[in-house]
Amino acid sequence: MIDTRSASKRGIGMTSARTRDRLVRRLKDNGIRSSAVLEQIRNVPRHLFVDEALASRAYEDTALPIGHGQTISQPWVVARMTEALLDGFEGQRVLEIGTGCGYQTAVLAPLVKEIFTVERIPELLRKTKQRLRDLDIYNVRFRLGDGWQGWPKYGPYDGIIVAAAADELPQKLLEQLAPNGRLIMPVGPPGRQRLIMVKRLPEHFEEVSLGAVSFVPLVKGM
């Protein structure tokens, strides 16, 4: 949990509790049930993850641009993905594909032991490393790399969360999923994307659709 007393020096006090509570109520009304996830949405200072010019919109339930053709995900989507990942989660290690501005990372970090996060855009990764340090989040390892390849060195992972959409499930990520682990990611072409949860069972993978979403594409390479 972020210490809001010390963090107020870094601008967390800029937004009112009423603004954050309104966002949390909206997420609850739209089906988010995990109290731990909702508390993180309330506590994480989303305005620090967007450009200053967009800070006044930070607690709207909408995606916002962060440069380089990327976005900070809609709070409901972040909450839904996190809730789905952690429902019955028995592991400790999570692989995140698409670090972006680090908002998803910050929401998830207090709820798991370790996060291994991969980003393909150097400038985004550099800024995000510093941003998470400023928020005293230290249980995250960073890698500049191709998200399609995952991060085999530290696998298998109990959970994998992917913040970009692919037309198909990346085989390399499925291979890095631990037994009984789960992968959460958007799959499908623009306009027809579905959020998918994949569970690794003893003999096969089981897929469950979690609803329609809209994400930037999971680009191959650097």
The CATH number linked to 186 is 3.40.50.150
Mean pLDDT of the chain: 90
Domain that holds residue 115: 10-212
> Taking each helix axis from N to C terminus, what angle separates 75-86 and 35-43, rounded to the nearest 10 degrees?
140
Other CB atoms within 10 Å distance of the CB of residue 43: 17
Beta strands in the chain (DSSP E): 64-67, 70-72, 93-97, 114-119, 140-144, 157-162, 177-187, 194-200, 205-212
Query: pLDDT tens-digit profile of 74-97?
Result: 999 999 999 999 988 878 899 999
Whether the CB-CB separation of 74 and 22 falls below 8 Å is answered with: no
| Within a domain: 77 | yes
Question: Is 73 a known active-site residue?
Answer: yes
| Within a domain: 218 | no
Query: pLDDT tens-digit profile of 140-158?
Result: 999 999 999 999 999 999 9
SS3 166: strand
| Within a domain: 221 | no
Q: Distance of CA 171 to CAs 118, 166, 205, Å?
A: 16, 11, 12
How many structural domains is the chain composed of? Answer: 1
**Mean local confidence (pLDDT), 102-126:** 96
Look at residue 91 in the predicted model and tell me its pLDDT.
81
**Mean local confidence (pLDDT), 152-174:** 95
Look at residue 15 in the predicted model and tell me its pLDDT.
64
| Within a domain: 114 | yes
| Within a domain: 4 | no
Res 9 pLDDT > 90: no
Look at residue 201 in the predicted model and tell me its pLDDT.
94
Q: What are phi and psi of 43, to 5 degrees?
A: -90, -30
Look at residue 88 in the predicted model and tell me its pLDDT.
81
The two counts, helices (H) then strands (E), for the chain are 7, 9
| Within a domain: 5 | no
**Active-site pick, 34, 56, 73, 214:** 73
Q: Using CA atoms in the order 43, 62, 105, 15, what is the torsion angle rounded to 10 degrees?
A: -30
| Within a domain: 150 | yes
Tell me 75's DSSP state: H
**Mean local confidence (pLDDT), 16-37:** 94
| Within a domain: 2 | no
* Maximum pairwise Cα distance, the chain: 51
Look at residue 69 in the predicted model and tell me its pLDDT.
84
Sequence-ordered list of residues with C-beta below 8 angstroms from that of 17, at least 6 positions apart, any chain: none
